[in-house]
Amino acid sequence: MRSWRLSSTAYCLAVLFCNNSALAAAPVVGGTVCGKACRQTFRTLRFSDAPDWVFFAVQECTSRLYQQSVHLCWEIYCSEDVWILEINQTCQEIDGSQFPTHDIIAGLTDEDVVQIARFNATSPDRVHPFAQLMLPSRAFYDLWGRTLDAHGYIWDKHYYYGWAMGIFWAVVVAVGVLNRALIQWEACRPRAFRTQQRTDVWFKRNILAPATFGRRCVQDFGGWGTLPPRVRTLTLTLFVLINIVCAVYGYRFFEGYGYYPTIGMQILRYVSDRTGIISFANFPLIWLFGMRNNVVIWLTGWDFKTYNNFHRWVGRLAALQAIIHSVGYTALIL
């Protein structure tokens, strides 16, 4: 019986897929992230040459002080100004204006730049609009660089871990199909050529055949219609573990994160997102395994009882994830 060896391969694949956070490189802020980070630092700043109390996007298109400041920021912290095209597009839509090019700061000397006031998240205070050029401090800029980097990282993981659910079951079904093919192949070979290695016998006796808790219920089903209970339990345990790992790993939280200052809020927001996405990813599986005539029954030859068991467990996990998602979001906005 090869199915045990195949399932350990599946296990390795799944773990590799879900748990690569340790391999993730340290944040490198460059390119688009850099351009965006500069912009984000200015979000709470108002300039006096923009109309009063307009949205940030409007200030972006109307305030020359802002436009010079952000170009300077790009000049100092980024290798290239990567954001002009998108902002230019937005300005076209908002008021038909064009976002100026880098030339807007051509007249500034190094001495001018040294004189420019630096700001961070709290200082100077934002009571009055500023009538001068402003530059984010290095530390504040770095904070936003890290924030955007972490944000992108977490969202990538949301996406991959959502897919991990479907991939896990695709591997399980693939193992089932292969196993079935091997059994048929084995049965067709002449008796003298059949291999009956000792490990095979051990696996058959200890892993495949027995019921999960030692009861002899496997005999009730007979044949190959039902996935043996111990394999079923192992598969489900592995799936539960993957769900836990995928909900717990793949985040980058830190004090001072731009969108959510406290780590508690970051956890609420991103764990809620993650569980919501994984729950959503589990829904098609609940539906697939719950159908009496489904394509996976046909592929693997395992009976409806097996899939009904999978159906229930995927359903329980998805429900639990949906609850965590809702509670997390509720706690975040309260």
Ligand X SMILES: *[C@@H]1O[C@H](CO)[C@@H](O)[C@H](O)[C@H]1NC(C)=O
Interface residue list for ligand X (CB under 6 A): 84-85, 88, 92, 98-99, 101, 120-123, 139
Nearer to ligand X by Cβ, of 21 and 120: the residue is: 120
Q: Is 134 helix (H, G, I), strand (E, B) or coil?
A: strand
Q: Where does the chain show beta strands of DSSP type E?
A: 117-119, 134-136
Smallest distance from ligand X to CB 85, Å: 6
Query: Mutual orientation of helices 263-290 and 138-188 as an angle, nearest 10°?
Result: 20
Smallest distance from ligand X to CB 15, Å: 39
Nearest by Cα to 275 from 157, 147, 150:
157
Nearest by Cα to 68 from 41, 106, 98:
106
Q: What value does the CA radius of gyration of the chain take, rounded to a whole number of Å?
A: 29
Smallest distance from ligand X to CB 81, Å: 10
Residues 207/7, Cβ–Cβ less than 8 Å: no
Smallest distance from ligand X to CB 270, Å: 22
Nearer to ligand X by Cβ, of 130 and 289: the residue is: 130
Nearer to ligand X by Cβ, of 24 and 263: the residue is: 263
Task: Give, as one character, the DSSP assignment of residue 130.
Answer: B
Name residue 20's amino acid: N
- CA 328 from chain centre, in angstroms, equals 17
Nearer to ligand X by Cβ, of 79 and 101: the residue is: 101
Smallest distance from ligand X to CB 275, Å: 31
Nearer to ligand X by Cβ, of 225 and 261: the residue is: 261
Nearer to ligand X by Cβ, of 85 and 170: the residue is: 85
Smallest distance from ligand X to CB 97, Å: 9
Residues 301/237, Cβ–Cβ less than 8 Å: no
